[in-house]
Amino acid sequence: MVLPAYIGALDGKRQRQTALITGASSGIGLDLAQFMAPDFDLIITARNQTVLEKIAQELHAAHGNHVHVIPADLTLPEAPQQIFAEIERRGLPVDILINNAGFGSYGAFAESDSKTSLDMVEVNIAALTALTRLALPGMIQRKRGRIMNVASTAGFQPGPLMAVYYATKAYVIMFSEAIANELKGSGVTVTCFCPGATATNFAERAKMEESRLFKMGAMKSRDVALVGYKGMMAGKGLVIPGVINKTLAMSVRFSPRKLVTAISRSLQEKAN
């Protein structure tokens, strides 16, 4: 079932649905905001308030939609509740939730920074879970809604040298598929979006620009985001952009686990 971008209002005028997008200041999150702005009101969140406000002004000027800025640091456990408290204070619905915020870090786990690893779990898993739980009651009550959780092809196998990141994305895939099953017949769809290597600032932040994976080539962020957006609007459960990414993600199901892990490590290692 495809939901319309507009819902009926009491005065007979069309009222835009509202989408909450995390990690909306750059990369796939920003691309999604730009794709959705012509048809939806938006709530955009990330850490940098100045960047968010500039994006909001540009989108509103171009499309006439309402773009609400709620800055937040999702490494803080209280952030999801604070975001929704502010959303409720402003009297806004959340018709669509896009859990896009996330980050990775490169290197052997035993040598990693403990705070970085725990922050990664907080953003990639805990915040995503909390925001989903906060959004669902309203969607179920209205009998309509969409959730898109941004995972990664990394979630289909172990990832030596990025052990925590790969593990967090495996959680997102399993979690999304489970609640999608629970929500059948509710009017709420759950899409798990699994990009592969993508040209955003992710690789730079994770310090893996020189890895074989990214040296092999990365998809353009805007192309990736469009596939995800279309998949979410069509109510698809699992969306993997790119033929190569789909092939790699599916092939691990039929390969020996030790081999899969060894190949994964090879792709993560620095290219010569």
Assigned domain for 141 exists: yes
Assigned domain for 87 exists: yes
Assigned domain for 255 exists: yes
Give the residue from 212, 118, 217, 220 showing the smallest Cα distance to 165: 118
Assigned domain for 3 exists: no
Assigned domain for 140 exists: yes
Which CATH number do you get for residue 155?
Answer: 3.40.50.720
Q: Which domain covers residue 222, as residue numbers?
A: 8-268
**Tokens (6 digits) for 216:** 């092999």
List, for residues 206-262, the tens digit of each pLDDT value: 555 555 555 456 789 999 999 999 999 999 999 999 888 887 777 777 666 677 677
List, for residues 100-132, the tens digit of each pLDDT value: 999 999 999 999 999 999 999 999 999 999 999
List, for residues 236-245, the tens digit of each pLDDT value: 999 999 888 8
| Pair type for strands 188-193 and 145-150 | parallel
Assigned domain for 1 exists: no
Query: What's the CA gap between 244 and 174, in Å, rounded?
Result: 22
List, for residues 69-101, the tens digit of each pLDDT value: 999 999 999 999 999 999 999 999 999 999 999
135 pLDDT higher than 50: yes
Assigned domain for 2 exists: no
Confidence of residue 194 (pLDDT cuts 50, 70, 90): very high
* Count: domains in the chain: 1
Amino acid identity, residue 10? L
Q: Where in the sequence numbering do the catalytic residues fall?
A: 165
* CA 23-27-28 angle, 5° bins: 75
Assigned domain for 20 exists: yes
CB burial readout 148-174, b (16+ within 10 A) else e: bbbbbbbbbbbbbbbbbbbbbbbbbbe
Contact 218, 204 (CB under 8 A): no
Contact 35, 96 (CB under 8 A): no
Contact 261, 207 (CB under 8 A): no
Contact 150, 138 (CB under 8 A): no
- Cβ neighbours for 97, distance < 8 A, ≥ 6 positions apart: 19, 20, 131, 132, 135, 145, 146, 147, 148
